[in-house]
Structure formats: C-alpha cells, structure tokens
Amino acid sequence: MAEPLLTEICIALIIFALLILVQRKSIFTRPALLALFFAVFFIDNLLFVLTNRFSSLQMIPNTIWEGFLICGWSGKLYSVVCMIILLYLTRKVLNKDDVGLTFRQKPGSVLPACTVILLLAAWAFLVGISSSKGRFDLPTLTYLAILPGLNEELVYRGILLAILIKIIPEDLQLLGAPFGLGIVVVSLLFGLLHGFWLDNNLAVHIEVIALRNATISGLIFAWLRARSGSLVMPVIAHGLEDFLFFLPRMV
C-alpha cells in the first residue's frame, strides 16, 4: 500500500513544482483553493487504493483482466459519491456550472464536439486492433464504458479543472474553446497517473507511451469540457475510447 501512496505524493509534488515554476508567487494568492485541489486529488486516489488493498471495502469485487487491468468498481463509485458530497459542501466556491454538471451544451458546440469524439473513437479502435489480445469479458467492457469516464471526468475535467481555472484564469482560445494553463496541468496530472509509478523497491518507472497517450486524451477531454461547457461530452468520449480500445482486443 505504501508504493501507490508514495506515487501519489510524488505526482502531487511534480504538479506543485510545475505550478510554482510557471506561476511563481501568484499561485499562492488563493491558498484555500490550492489546498482543495490537492485534497480532491488525494481523496480520489486514496479511495481507489484502499478498496484495492482491502477487499472488505469492495461492494462489487474487483476483477483483473489479463493480469494488468484492474476493474475497481467500488473505488470509482466511492469516489463519485465523495465528490458529490464535497461539491455540496463547497457549493459557495464551486457551483455546478463551474464543474460542468449540466446537460446544456454551449451554442454551436455539439457538431465540433461530436466530430472530435468520433475521431477519438476511431483512433482508439484502430490502436486496439493492433494491440495484444485477451479473453472476452463483458463485465470488464461494461466497467470501461461507464465508470472510468464518469469518475475521472467528474474529478479531473470537472472539479480539479474548475479549481485551477479560478486560480489561473484562462486567457487563450483553442478551436473555439477557452484554454489556459489549468487544462495543461490537469492533463499532465492525468498522464502521470497512467504512466508514472514507484515499485516495491521505490524505484521510479515511467511508461512513456502510456503517459503520452493519457496526457493527449486528457487534453482532448478538457477541450470537450471547455468547448461544450458540460461534462457530458468528455464522459461520452472517455467511455467510448476505453470501450473501443479494449473491444477489438477481446474478439
């Protein structure tokens, strides 16, 4: 259990150092929000680590596909519930529009968002075709289509991105969407979670391809969130990407 916790601390320190490097002293102008940012990050990941470590906490038992893909239903569900409670407690700081908790889409955003989602889905399917194969597992596909997108978009493109936007306002535009340092930082954080870890000997491992792909996916999901004004599009995109990447690996 120590290794994943130390991995999270290392990732948090990397992101903190990056924020200081880019923003310098101005990053400390809103210390409560900065503390909330890292608290959300640790809560989300700690819930996943604890449910993986202690099977008694698993409402739905974890499964592992082909020895590496952990389907942690309970950790993801616990995180979603905790984040909803946290949003209620911090509603004076983060409202539902800040986080993207709305089905309403910005005018003119549906067509470009759907186009990006279709391109991402096609890319995921093509990469999946050329990847290693394993057994067909419908529960795993169901998990991939629903929970990672629901949980991770709420946390990373929802709460964490909303916090950073309040600390570091967006001052650029990218293909019709507001764009700023917050999107880059959250996307890098997302990438590190997928491609950086410490092993049992506390040696650092960096899986460059996983880090790169997750960071790029994070940037796309964040653009969808910014362009549409809602988490609906990034949740759909995330679920489709995961599902279509693994589907051809199972058939």
Return the H-helix or E-strand segment holding 63.
strand 63-65
Per the CB < 8 A criterion, the answer to whether 97 and 115 are in contact is no
pLDDT, tens only, 140-161: 999 999 999 999 999 999 999 9
pLDDT, tens only, 190-201: 999 999 999 888
Range name among 35-44, 84-93, 129-138, 167-176 with the lowest pLDDT average: 167-176
Identity (one letter) of the amino acid at 48? F
Please state the pTM of the whole predicted model: 0.95
End-to-end Cα, the chain, rounded Å:
34
SS3 for 205?
A: strand
| In the chain, domain spans | 2-250
